[in-house]
Amino acid sequence: MELVTSEVGLKMESGMGRNPTLICAPLMAERVDQMLSLMQKAKQSGADLVEIRLDWLKDFNPLTDIEILIKRCPLPTLFTYRPTWEGGQYDGDEQSRLGALQLAMELGADHIDVELQAIHEFNNYVHGSRPAKCKVIVSSHNYHNTPSSEDLGNLVARIQASGADIVKIATTALDITDVARVFQITVHSQVPIIAMVMGERGLMSRVLCPKFGGYLTFATLESGKVSAPGQPTIEDLLNLYNFRLLGPDTKVYGIIGKPVSHSKSPKLYNEAFKSVGFDGVYMYFLVDDVGKFFQTYSSTDFAGFSCTIPHKENALKCCDEVDPVAKSIAAVNCLVRRPTDGKLFGCNTDYVGAITSIEDGLRGSLHSTTASGSPLAGKLFVVIGAGGAGKALAYGAKQKGARVVIANRTYERAREIADIVGGQALSLSELDSFHPEDGMILANTTSIGMQPKVNETPISKEALKYYALVFDAIYTPKITRLLGDALECGAKIVSGIEMFIGQAYEQYERFTGLPAPKELFRRSVA
């Protein structure tokens, strides 16, 4: 699906400066005084308006409470009184609920939210009289899936026909490609629209609102306290994603993986983009099917991708053109879309960052005299893992003259790579008793020991005494159990942070055509 973005430009203020998409903070509290204190917090956090969730209030007295909430709110207001049948907390009678929303409208609310299922009754209830100041949002929430483009289009038409000032649809992402249909609807909407896709796979629908012309996005005051699944914090919107700087021409980049939320890449690239005024944003992409992802987000707006576990090999098959080194490794970790024809170019920057950091570690510990050659030459180099990163490191070590051994849970996979690079294969269970010599190099490229399973390690501590240097591609946590054990055994250690920074330099340059701000990258990661 090609995403059309040119039309958004007509709806949005051109040029740099702040985009018109608003940030709304949902306020959920049981007492009015708590609501009032959350309002102050929302203002300090940088929200543009607050959603007052009346259905969360206990002992709610509409006549007195609504007036207090409106008069004392330092920001524009949106009143929502969500019933249980639409995912809210209210389970009383409809007359009282609609009466409270009418009262909010008459007392000076800036927006009220009425469900599509209730709007007909609400219109009858208020006899069509609405204060000009108050905008009526008519909403529909789907907690099961994201309907087809046709069904979404029909839903929006029904909401518009109900007399909505602003259309709101919230669907659920079963796959990240569901978001594309909602972007399509947002771009083509003739009226102000709030369009969200809930859940972790729908995150980009919330961040990229300004690109596709959404009226507002919801963001929470603190992590974990969400009014719907997948909401980012205001802090992340403003300071991680540079939300105010996004617009119709912003290029989208991101990291494709499963899991992916642990990655430090968005912080790194977005800080770098902002520091040089580059009009791009870097996202988390939780991807299940990488082929489907590239097929769906095929426009040149989606300009570049980092690729992590478990997609590096399948992503290669999606490329129109592949760098010869990546072809030999049969895995890519960086894909760039050519702006001229939208073709995908894939390369592998993993092994450069990793091998360089391992060489630097060895030079530091060996006071190596082979200044011209690699300190890896002639060394026995044991790689744990036979995925894309394992293959990349095996290839890189072989290039530097090391003797390579691949250890993997399934021996057949290890054998395949060993045959390609001309090395030896082991099953992971054999690794503890494998020590033909001292002073070996160990490189873990699996996710064993990554957060949250920080107590796991791929090899016994006893076996580590035969290694001169141990490298772990994981960088969350920075010192894994494997590295901690290796240190105690007297080995030199190299953290995945070094590999991460090294490969990020090259990716940044490929994405932007600009030199990587190396100092900034080191500071960000530190």
Residue positions annotated with a catalytic role:
141, 168, 312, 350
Tally Cβ neighbours within 10 Å of residue 61: 11
Instruction: Quote the tokens at residue 425.
Output: 């294969």
Q: CA-to-CA distance for 359 and 357, rounded, in angstroms?
A: 5
Tally Cβ neighbours within 10 Å of residue 42: 26
Q: CA-to-CA distance for 55 and 76, rounded, in angstroms?
A: 19
Contacts by residues 410-416 (CB-CB < 8 Å, ≥ 24 positions apart): 410/386, 413/386, 414/386, 416/386
From the list 399, 382, 369, 365, the residue with the least C-alpha distance to 441 is 382
In contact, 256 and 290? CB cutoff 8 Å: yes
Half-sphere exposure of 213 (CA within 13 A, CB side): 26
Q: CA-to-CA distance for 254 and 461, rounded, in angstroms?
A: 36
Q: In 324-441, which ranges are continuous DSSP H helix?
A: 324-329, 350-366, 388-399, 411-421
Helix axes 496-512, 518-525, angle to 10 degrees: 140
For CA atoms 433, 434, 436, 440, the dihedral sign is: negative
Instruction: Quote the tokens at residue 48.
Output: 């543009």
CA dihedral 157, 158, 161, 165 (to 10 degrees): -80
